[in-house]
Amino acid sequence: MIERERKYRITDEDAARLRSVLAAQAELVASEIQVNTIFRDRATRLRKGTYVRVRSIGSRRELTFKGKKTLRGLDKCRLELTVAVGDGPLVELLATIGLEPYLTYQKETEIWSVAGAHVSLDRVDGLGRFCEVEAHDEDADLQAVADLLELGKDRFEPRGYPTLAAELVLARNGSGYAALPPAPVAVTAEIAEIPRSVARRRTR
């Protein structure tokens, strides 16, 4: 399945305005807390720019593969494959094929359905508030949804949550090789290695 998505930074006031607009024109699909763990591949069997994620939502778990992204204007398009997984040693299973957890972040989200797309109002620990617009259709017109919600290009955020979370850990630790201790507002992360693309940005 191809996912097409874009992201905007928003404030608490923006979130309240967007919620009001969505309540009048959209359907609330879910309101939930997601704990997302990103796995790295020590053996580099995964293609560069791809990753595996385990998402926990209460007692539910999902395993997702994210393919290499391509850009279409402001939108990122990529293969996304997700399966529901039950109880069991999932982390240990992934370790047997060389995948290890290196970053975990928590996201509170409200997911709305409007105009053939999903709009998520997110709060990510340590990173702030965001609005994501996405569809599982590579030809979806996300700009029309952004216009409906009056989301301007000045709020556009090109980076994904894993990159933003990794950059925050790097900024706080000064290194990608230490665990981030809990803080009142923080990404709860254990990070073994910052992605090379992040490290390059820090050294420029």
Show me where the domains of the chain are located: 2-158
- Indicate the class that CATH gives domain 2-158: mainly beta
Q: Give the pLDDT score at 102.
A: 87
Q: Give the pLDDT score at 169.
A: 87
Q: Which helix (H) or strand (E) holds 3?
A: strand 2-10
Q: Give the pLDDT score at 42.
A: 73
pLDDT by residue, tens only, the chain of 204 residues: 999 999 999 999 999 999 999 999 999 999 999 999 999 887 667 788 899 999 999 999 999 999 999 999 999 999 999 999 999 999 999 999 899 998 999 999 999 999 999 999 999 999 999 999 999 999 999 999 999 999 999 999 999 999 999 999 888 876 543 333 333 233 444 444 334 444 444 444
Prediction pTM value: 0.84
Q: Give the pLDDT score at 52.
A: 95
DSSP letter at 62 equals E
DSSP E strand boundaries for 45-183: 51-57, 60-66, 70-72, 75-85, 99-114, 117-124, 128-135
Task: Report the candidate in 61, 16, 9, 56 with the shortest Cα–Cα distance to residue 35.
Answer: 56
